[in-house]
Amino acid sequence: MDTQKKSSLRQKFKIYWPFAVSEIQGALSYRGRFYFFILARLFNIFITYFLWKAIFASSGQEIINGFTFNNMVGYIFISYIAADLINSGASRYIGYEVVDGSIAINLIRPINYRIRLFFTSLGNIICRLIMPTLPIWICYTIIRYIYAQELPPAFSTIIQFFFSLILSFLIMFLFEFCFGMLSFYTTYIWGLNVVKYSVLRFFTGELIPITFFPTVIRKALRFMPFSLMNYTPVMVYLGKISGAEYWKSIANQVLWVVLLYFLGSFLWSRAIKRLTILGG
Amino acid sequence: MRYIRLYKVFLLQYLKALMQSKVDFFVGLIAFFFTQLAGIVFLYLIFEHIPNLNGWSFEQLLFIYGFAQLPRGIDHLFTDYIWMLAMRMVIRGEFDKYLLRPINPLFQLIAERFQPDAIGEILVGMILVVTSCVKMEIKIGFFNSIVFVVSIVAGAIIYTAIKLFFASIAFWTKDSIGLLQLVYETADFAKYPVSIYDKKVRFILSYIFPFAFVAFYPASYFIGKAKLLTTVGIEVLIAIITITIAYATFNKGLTIYESAGN
């Protein structure tokens, strides 16, 4: 029984893995465009860096909301790296496929659409990990060591960070899948994506640590999955979430993975019904 | 005159299409509204902890931020289709059709799209400029209102020129979308006072990609922190120079354009 289950899992992997591979190949053929995009995003990081520098200089304080300037620089860069590894943009794929109609072919195929999409996203993330995220992280770590004599966190912290990051990726993917279901109801998914992107940048803590928000919003965010997508792993990396608190965060992340999984299944079954109606 | 008439025809077609998809229009409008809002809320949260940023008050920053949106939004409204030149027109040979008609190719390219999404950007800019002016009790007289309009038009021209120049590079490289996006992104630096950056960044923003002259310098004139000639004066000069260079590059690109295929 157990071996049978294992082999079927392996079979499944064999079926879906090519989707990840094709994504990697696709990304490699558009490399030039991609590097420019990365550079453009790095620019944004530098704006934030200079802003914080001016903010700390103007405040006359060493610590703002529990962050020193060095902490904050770490926060900016690590949250940039984390955001890159978490957001797979799955909702955009769904949008394209609904608009150009290729979703119909994917529905006829004897594969699970969500799992297929998951592997596509995975391929995307693997690409980004190799280039540019890992090189950026290495550069960042070296520069930090030279200028601030700061060592990277302990190996165990990095493992904890990665574990939390993987859960963040899952939460984000499942959220994106739910969000992508909107493509069945409107054709203007581009505009919705822009809204989602700016809201997420805020509530995931990518733009500014969540401790800076007013208490009311912080309390409300506790009941939403957003802070678990970026803020949590970054704070783990910085050593600001550790011990019992770490495991509490992980439990919270797992809870949201389960919730969003079922929500996605529910929304999918409804959206598909609608698609059939439109087709007929 | 002929071109104005033609543009009217194009525009009417657009508005017709727009009315068919009102939802899309509002989504686009709200989308840009949200994007800008994030930056403002960021500043707001920060000012809980600091009295001023490098000597600039919250209201002054809002003014600069809002002011930066206006030329950008106007450029976005009218010349958004230039992005397509950078993205795919040369690769796919789509540029052919513009060369066949007896109308200026650049005009045709620009008239191809009217981008109502930009209204969200302009709206945010106007709201910020007006509210911050009221709060700071800045009175803009007759002379300064003219300067204001001139500055925004010149700013929009600088945006268009930079966009056109880097999009025209696609005539040589087939596609220049990455490069264009990179340059365009540097415009975001100019939403904040240039004084917060170090020397190198300041130099790039002032003299290489002159986005500082689109937003920060003219805005600081209206706040009363700088003189007219060294801000709006230089801005107008830069607008004339950049658009001339960009248009010449575009025309040079046309001469070497060969359609897709052979």
Q: In terms of pLDDT, which residue wins out, A178 or A22?
A: A178
User: pLDDT at position A280, please?
Assistant: 43
- Per residue in B20-70, pLDDT (tens digit) is 667 777 777 777 788 788 888 888 888 888 888 888 899 999 999 999 889
Residue A46 to residue B54, Cβ atoms within 8 A: no
Q: In terms of pLDDT, which residue wins out, B140 or B234?
A: B234
User: pLDDT at position A165, please?
Assistant: 95
Chain B residues within an 8 Å CB radius of A37:
178, 181
Determine what percent of chain B is predicted with pLDDT higher than 70: 98
Q: Once rounded to an integer, what is the mean pLDDT over residues B121-150?
A: 87
Number of domains in chain B: 1
pLDDT above 60 (res B234): yes
Q: What's the gap in Å between the CA of A209 and the closest CA on chain B?
A: 10
Chain B residues within an 8 Å CB radius of A201:
38
Q: In terms of pLDDT, which residue wins out, B250 or A40?
A: B250
Long-range Cβ contacts of A56-62 (<8 Å, 24+ apart): A57/B54, A58/B50, A58/B51, A58/B52, A58/B53, A58/B54, A59/B49, A59/B50, A61/B49
Residue A8 lies in a domain: no
User: pLDDT at position A106, please?
Assistant: 79
Radius of gyration (C-alpha) of chain B in whole angstroms: 19
Residue B261 lies in a domain: no
Confidence tier at B137 by pLDDT (50, 70, 90): confident
Of B31, B50, B192, the CB nearest to A195: B31
Residue A4 lies in a domain: no
Residue A44 to residue B188, Cβ atoms within 8 A: yes
The one-letter amino acid at A102 = S
Number of domains in chain A: 1
- d(C-alpha B183, C-alpha B166), whole Å: 8
Q: What's the gap in Å between the CA of A195 and the closest CA on chain B?
A: 5
Residue A47 lies in a domain: yes
Residue B262 lies in a domain: no
Chain A residues within an 8 Å CB radius of B185:
40-41, 43-44
Helix or strand (DSSP H, E) at B191: none
Confidence tier at B188 by pLDDT (50, 70, 90): confident
The 3-class SS string of A207-258 reads CCCHHHCCHHHHHHHCCCCHHHHCHHHHHHHCCCCCCHHHHHHHHHHHHHHH
User: pLDDT at position A1, please?
Assistant: 46
Q: What's the gap in Å between the CA of A200 and the closest CA on chain B?
A: 10
- Per residue in A82-107, pLDDT (tens digit) is 988 998 778 888 888 887 778 878 78
Q: Once rounded to an integer, what is the mean pLDDT over residues B68-91?
A: 88
Residue B73 lies in a domain: yes
Residue A207 to residue B38, Cβ atoms within 8 A: yes
Of A32, A43, A201, the CB nearest to B38: A201
Chain A residues within an 8 Å CB radius of B37:
198
Q: In terms of pLDDT, which residue wins out, B201 or A167?
A: A167
User: pLDDT at position A255, please?
Assistant: 96
Domain hosting A238: range is 18-279
Residue A55 to residue B35, Cβ atoms within 8 A: no
Residue A45 lies in a domain: yes
User: pLDDT at position A30, please?
Assistant: 67
Of B31, B42, B181, the CB nearest to A36: B181
The SS3 assignment for B224 reads coil
Chain A residues within an 8 Å CB radius of B52:
58
Residue A135 lies in a domain: yes
> What is the rounded average pLDDT for all residues in chain A?
85
Nearest CA in chain A to B189: A47
pLDDT above 60 (res A279): no
Q: How many CB pairs under 8 A join A and B?
A: 101
Q: Is B65 within 8 Å of A70 (Cβ atoms)?
A: no
pLDDT above 80 (res A253): yes
Chain A residues within an 8 Å CB radius of B174:
none
User: pLDDT at position A6, please?
Assistant: 63
* Lowest-confidence region among A186-195, A238-247, B102-111, B126-135: A186-195
- d(C-alpha A129, C-alpha B261), whole Å: 37
Q: What's the gap in Å between the CA of B256 and the closest CA on chain A?
A: 23
pLDDT above 60 (res A184): yes
Residue B42 to residue A208, Cβ atoms within 8 A: yes
Which residues is A67 bridged to in the sheet? A64
Q: Which two structure tokens, joined as six digits, stand for B161?
A: 């020129």
Q: In terms of pLDDT, which residue wins out, A258 or A80?
A: A258
Q: Once rounded to an integer, what is the mean pLDDT over residues B208-230?
A: 86
Chain A residues within an 8 Å CB radius of B197:
50
Query: For residue B58, what are the CA distances in angstroms to A127, B51, B62, B193, B220?
Result: 41, 9, 6, 12, 14
> What is the rounded average pLDDT for all residues in chain B?
86
pLDDT above 80 (res B167): yes
Chain B residues within an 8 Å CB radius of A35:
178
Domain hosting B131: range is 2-256
Burial of A195 (0-12, 13-18, 19+ CB in 10 A): middle
Confidence tier at B6 by pLDDT (50, 70, 90): confident
Confidence tier at A248 by pLDDT (50, 70, 90): very high
Burial of A184 (0-12, 13-18, 19+ CB in 10 A): buried
Chain A residues within an 8 Å CB radius of B177:
33, 36
- Return the top range by mean pLDDT from A265-274, B155-164, B229-238: B155-164
Chain A residues within an 8 Å CB radius of B21:
188
In A, residues 32-61, which contact B (CB 8 Å cutoff)? 32-37, 39-41, 43-44, 46-47, 50-51, 53-55, 57-59, 61
User: pLDDT at position B177, please?
Assistant: 84
pLDDT above 90 (res A188): no
Residues of B with CB under 8 A from a CB of A: 21, 23-24, 27-28, 30-32, 34-35, 37-38, 41-42, 45-46, 48-54, 117, 175, 177-179, 181-182, 184-186, 188-189, 192, 196-198, 201
Residue A87 lies in a domain: yes
Residue A261 lies in a domain: yes
pLDDT above 80 (res A224): yes
Q: Once rounded to an integer, what is the mean pLDDT over residues A199-214?
A: 88
Cβ neighbour number for residue A158 with a 10 Å cutoff: 13
Q: Is B89 within 8 Å of B95 (Cβ atoms)?
A: yes
Q: What's the gap in Å between the CA of B184 and the closest CA on chain A?
A: 9
pLDDT above 80 (res B256): yes
Q: In terms of pLDDT, which residue wins out, A109 or B233?
A: B233
The number of residues making up chain B comes to: 262
User: pLDDT at position A48, please?
Assistant: 86
- Per residue in A158-183, pLDDT (tens digit) is 999 999 999 999 999 999 999 998 88
Nearest CA in chain B to A45: B189
Phi, psi of A227 (to 5 degrees): -65, -20
Largest CA distance in chain B: 64
Q: Once rounded to an integer, what is the mean pLDDT over residues A218-240?
A: 91
Determine what percent of chain B is predicted with pLDDT higher than 90: 23
Of A43, A188, A194, the CB nearest to B35: A194
pLDDT above 50 (res B78): yes
